[in-house]
Amino acid sequence: MPIEIPKDKWPGKIRTVTLGALAADGGTRAKTVTVGGEGTLPFMHFETPTPNRPVIAIEIKDHKPDDWSPLLAEVWGEAMNDPAAWAKAAEAAGADLIVLALSVNGLDGKPTTPEAAVAAVKAVLGATSLPLIVFGPGQAELDNELLVPISEATKGERLALGICEDKNYRTIVATAMANGHLVTARTPMDVNLSKQLNILISDMGMPGDRIIMDPTTGALGYGIEYGYSVMERLRMAALQGDAMTQSPMIVTPGFEAWKTKEAKVGQGVPESWGDWKERAINWETLTTIALLESGAAIVVLRHPESVKRAKMAIEELMTV
C-alpha cells in the first residue's frame, strides 16, 4: 500500500528579490543574483519546486582589518590590502556576490571619509562583475555619511545597502529608493522586531522586492539556536501569508563564527578542541549549514574553504 506523504500547503511565499543590474537595466553587472520565491519550508522540493537556490556572499573590507583571525589573513594574503584585488579573489573563490563591509576608521586611524568609501565601492565594482552589498561601519551617523554618497555614485546598480536598524533606517532607505538600490534590514533575533522594521521601511514607500531581512544570528555555541528558531518562525509566518515577513533573509555566519574563540585563536585553547584551522572552518561551515536549513537566502562567509563546503551542501540540498 503506497504511503500518503503529508504535504504542507501554504498560502504565502517568499518575495523574489534581484540584486545587481545588467547594463541593459542601468547597471554594470555581468550577472544578477535572484533569491526568494520559495513556497515551502527550506528545500521541501516535493511540495513545490524551489525556484532559487540560496547564495553565498564573501565579506571583504575596504582595507585590511586588524582584528580578523590570522587564519583569514593567511588565506587572503596580499589581496586584503586592496579591496579590488580582494573582490577578485572572492569571485575566484566561488562567491555568488560580494559584501563590502566598510571600516569605522581608515588606515590612518581617522574616520573613513565618504571619498574613500566611494572609491572603495567603485574599485570593487570595477574589479568584479558580481552584484554587491555594502554595509556601513555600523555607527548610525557614519553609516549615513558614507552610504548616501555611495548610493548616489552608483545609481542604478541595484546594490543592497545596509545596515538599516530600527534607530537608523530613514536616510539609508531614502537614498536607496532614490537611486534604485535595495536595503538590508537588521533586527536582533526577534520575529516581531523583524516584522516591525519591515513595516517601517515599507511605509516609506520602499517596494517589497527591494528589502532583504537580516534577522541576526549567533555563532555555533554562542546562541545559534535563537537565530535558528527565529528564522524558522519567520519562514513559517511568511508562508502563512504575513507579507511583512516575506523578505528573503540574509545572515552573517562568517562574521559571527570568526569572532568566537574557537575560530579566531589557535593558542591557549584546550587540546580537546583539535586542529585550529579545520576547527575554524567547521565552526563557520556548521553555523552556515544550520542557517541554510532554517531558511537563509544569502549567507555571508569569510573563509574560502567554508565557501567551498557550503556550496557543495547547497548543491546537494537543491537535489530533488
Partner 1 sequence: MALSGIQIYKLLPQTNCKECGFPTCLAFAMKLAAKQAELSACPYVSEASKKQLAESSQPPIRLISVKAGGYEVKAGNETVMFRHEKTFFNRPGLFIKVRASEGEEVIKTKVSTADAFKVNYVGIDLTVDGFAVEVDGGDASTGSAQAFAAAVKAVRSATKRPLILVGKDPAALSAGLGALSGENALLYAADSANWEAMTDLAKQYNASLAVSADSLDALAELTEKVKGKGLEDIVLDLKAAKLGPHLALSTQLRRLALKSNFRPLGYPIITFAEGGDGRDSVVAAQAIAKYSGFVVLDRFAPELIYPLLVLRQNIYTDPQKPIQVQPAIYEINSPKPESPVLVTTNFSITYFSVANEVEGSGLPAWLVVCDAEGMSVLTAWAAGKFDAERIAKTIKGFNVADKVSKKRVVIPGHVAVLSGELEAELPDWEIRVGPREAVDLPAFMKQALN
Output the smallest distance, CB 58 to partner 1, in A: 17
Does 31 contact partner 1 by CB under 8 A?
no
Instruction: Choose which of 23, 26, 45, 204 interacts with partner 1 (CB under 8 A).
Output: 45
Instruction: Choose which of 186, 264, 302, 303 interacts with partner 1 (CB under 8 A).
Output: 264
Instruction: Choose which of 182, 224, 238, 298 interacts with partner 1 (CB under 8 A).
Output: 224
Does 308 contact partner 1 by CB under 8 A?
yes
What separation in angstroms does the CA of 32 have from each of 29, 198, 242?
7, 24, 27
Does 138 contact partner 1 by CB under 8 A?
no
Does 209 contact partner 1 by CB under 8 A?
no
The region that residue 127 occupies, defined by phi over 0 for left and psi between -120 and 50 for alpha, beta otherwise, is alpha
Whole-angstrom Cα distance, residue 21 to residue 28? 6
What separation in angstroms does the CA of 318 have from each of 44, 47, 196, 293?
9, 13, 31, 12
Asked if residues 248 and 295 have their Cβ atoms less than 8 Å apart, the reply is: no
Whole-angstrom Cα distance, residue 265 to residue 20? 36
Asked if residues 179 and 155 have their Cβ atoms less than 8 Å apart, the reply is: yes
Does 64 contact partner 1 by CB under 8 A?
no
Q: What's the sign of the alpha-carbon dihedral 90, 96, 102, 103?
A: negative
Give the number of residues in contact with partner 1, rule: CB under 8 A. Answer: 63
Instruction: Choose which of 25, 91, 209, 232 interacts with partner 1 (CB under 8 A).
Output: 232
* Choices 20-28, 90-98, 241-249, 256-264; region in contact with partner 1 by CB under 8 A: 256-264
> DSSP 3-state assignment of 297?
coil
Output the smallest distance, CB 49 to partner 1, in A: 12
Q: Which residues bind partner 1 (CB under 8 A)?
A: 1-6, 41, 43-46, 188-190, 193, 218, 220-226, 228-229, 232-233, 236, 259-262, 264-265, 268, 270-276, 278-279, 281-283, 285-286, 289-290, 293-294, 305, 308-309, 312-313, 316-320
